[in-house]
Amino acid sequence: MSRRPSIGDLRQRVTIESVIDTFDDVGGFARSFTPLAQVWARIEATGARDQFVEQRAEQSTTHVVTIRWRDDVKSQMRFAFRGRKLLIRSVLDHDERRRFLACECEEIS
């Protein structure tokens, strides 16, 4: 993040989705997501890389999504934005003042 954000920088509307793991009878689980809240955000692309995963090429793009501070946003949740899914890898309150959260996210396409 290049500078401290202001409220006017939060211009994209995103949906925070909470993770739900449903366990089955054989010890596995199915993961699904449910909408938690719609918030205003600033989305900044920070990098991209190509890699081979399971015999196919994938491109992952990293983003920093900045939102107003919330105490219910955790890693493994995700943001939905214009049909894209941004998986939250880490959550950071830069100045520890509970004003903004900077979420490092990964989008795989």
Cα separation, 95 vs 79, in Å, equals 23
**Domain locations in the chain as residue ranges:** 7-108
Residue for token digits 């890389």? 49
Q: pTM here? A: 0.86
C-alpha closest to that of 5 among 90, 95, 70, 80: 95
Cα separation, 106 vs 77, in Å, equals 11
**Alpha carbon distance, N-terminus to C-terminus of the chain:** 24
**Per-residue pLDDT tens for 18-48?**
999 999 888 899 999 999 999 999 999 999 9
CATH number of 7-108: 2.40.10.270
What local confidence, expressed as pLDDT, does residue 1 receive? Answer: 46
Ramachandran category for residue 76: left, alpha or beta (phi over 0 → left; psi -120 to 50 → alpha): left
**Per-residue pLDDT tens for 91-109?**
999 889 999 999 999 997 7
